[in-house]
Copies of this chain bind each other. A is one copy, B any other.
Amino acid sequence: MYENNVETVEIIEKKVERIVDNIDELVAQKKFGEIKKQINDLEPFDIAEVLEELNSAELPIVFRLLSKDNAADTFVEMSSDNQETLINAFSDAELKAVFDDMFVDDTVDVIEEMPASVVKRIINQADLETRQRINEILQYPEDSAGTIMTVEYVSLKKEWTVEQCFEYIRKIAVDKETIYTSYVTDAQRRLEGVISAKELLIADPKTTVGSIMTTDFICVTTDTDKEKVATTASDYDLSSIPVVDKENRIVGIITIDDIIDVINEEATEDFAKMAAVLPTDQPYLEQSVWSIVKSRLPWLLLLMVSATFTGLIINTFEHQLSLISTVLFGCVPMLMGTGGNAGSQVCVTITRALALEEVEFGDILTIIWKELRVSILLALVLAVSCFAKLQLIDRLLFGYDGYTFAVSAIVSLALFITIILAKLVGCTLPLLAKKCRLDPAVVANPFITTVVDALSLLTYCGVAVALLG
């Protein structure tokens, strides 16, 4: 009996799966008492997952079975489609009930995904103060700290004693997103210091906050890029960061849960860009076919057209090459493939290092020197193996006599040069992009592949014609 209340995440997952599998049936059989019991005992995140299984008719019915403290938290975790369905099904009273229990930053997240009509309803039910805060947050530039900050923070006055502070925190704790860091402000709401609940707890109840607060704290401005906020938090191990305006007045704080979301979003965005996809902030399954097409088409088209050059190169040398040996064409895919792989290996590595601020443009010489040595070693091993492969596998094993000693040598030499070129281009491209305020992730894969394809072909044909032409 005892063990039951210790639920490891693995156990919880199985439980959720079971409910997900049965919910349709339970709804069909109208076993609402049963449903109510089962879902209310889950975490909001899991409840949201269960609700994803329902159609727009069933959703509101089941949502109404949630306990008051589950309702808002679950709503926040749901997909925007489901949120919209619910809002449209809500009475004004229900709408107000849910949004009153939400923090302003979550409300804004919802609003940003909703059509104007729905937004209007949400804004109308909010009290004047909340409405103003929502509008403020909506006005900050995209991807800025202002858009992800929470306005529910604890602010203290420096003349208060630790005792008074605790009294105050106790009173307002319920409505604040975090009480573990408090912010000491003056009459103009200017940030004077920060103090953690731990420091308050250890301190003598009679001392004033002003005497024990930290005055050299780290903060960001409303315009700071949210990616910067994320790196700052992970670099300095902060669990919340104050956001100040131009006059150093505190306007909000960014809490760790939102920071983690940013970290994941930014990584996903870079993955998308490197795969030649225009990033969207919607989860894959929520994206419509059309929006997926729109996010993939531009790059595919651009890269296809840019491949014209590789075509031209081949066409130009074609005649000469076929005179030398027709098998030369057979090695083109291998050459371009290996070149592309060698290039993206370093390109992706550097791009990621830039994103984590492990390297900067200033390191370019160090990096080039390192890559030069790396590429020579790699090129040597690969060229030799390539030569062996052509002689042993292709010539002896498969009997392509076209792969004479000379031809194999040319291919291997071309490969050697290609790899070194690929590595050097691959490491400089992202750094230059960063320097030119372009996005290294976009320059990295797949753009690099196109550049390297052309380079490798030119080298190949050049070498072949030069040595045998």
Contact = CB atoms under 8 A, between A and B. Distances in A.
Interface band, chain A: 35 or more
Contacts of A303: 337-338, 341
A342 interface: yes
A293 interface: yes
A289 to B, nearest CB: 5
Given A8-B219, A180-B197, A299-B341, A308 B393 contact: yes
A173 interface: yes
A333 B457 contact: yes
Interface string A1-31: 0110111111010000000000000000000
A276 B43 CA distance: 38
Given A271-B352, A349-B275, A198 B220 contact: no
A216 B7 contact: yes
A135 interface: no
Interface string A315-358: 10011001000110111111011101110110111111100101
A233 interface: yes
Given A274-B348, A315-B327, A293 B377 contact: yes
Contact of A315 (B191, B308, B322, B400): B400
A259 B257 CA distance: 11
Interface in A386-401: 386, 389, 393-394, 398, 400
Contacts of A336: 333, 336
When all copies of this chain in the complex are counted, the total is 2
A304 B345 contact: no
B389 A308 contact: yes
Contact of A12 (B9, B218, B386): B218
A272 interface: yes
A198 B179 contact: yes
A308 B333 CA distance: 9
Interface stretch (A54-62, A85-93, A260-268): A260-268
B332 A450 contact: no
A220 B41 CA distance: 19
A314 B367 CA distance: 38
Given A285-B358, A289-B377, A334-B307, A201 B218 contact: no
A364 B292 CA distance: 17
B358 A333 contact: no
B284 A256 contact: no
A74 interface: no
A220 B8 contact: yes
A127 interface: no
Contacts of A378: 293, 296-297, 300
A300 B342 contact: yes
B260 A307 contact: no
B344 A300 contact: no
Contact of A330 (B248, B259, B311, B340): B311
A270 to B, nearest CB: 8
Given A270-B271, A284-B358, A289-B370, 19 more contacts: A5-B215, A7-B216, A8-B218, A9-B224, A166-B201, A256-B260, A271-B348, A271-B352, A272-B349, A275-B445, A277-B349, A297-B381, A300-B338, A300-B345, A304-B389, A311-B394, A312-B398, A318-B330, A333-B336
Interface of A: 2-3, 5-10, 12, 41, 43, 45, 166, 169-170, 173-174, 179-180, 190-192, 197-198, 201-202, 215-221, 224, 228, 232-237, 239, 244, 248, 256-257, 259-261, 263-264, 267-268, 270-272, 274-277, 283-285, 289, 292-293, 296-297, 299-301, 303-305, 307-308, 310-312, 314-315, 318-319, 322, 326-327, 329-334, 336-338, 340-342, 344-345, 347-353, 356, 358-359, 363, 366-367, 370, 373-374, 377-378, 381-382, 385-386, 389, 393-394, 398, 400, 402, 415, 419, 445-446, 449-450, 453, 457
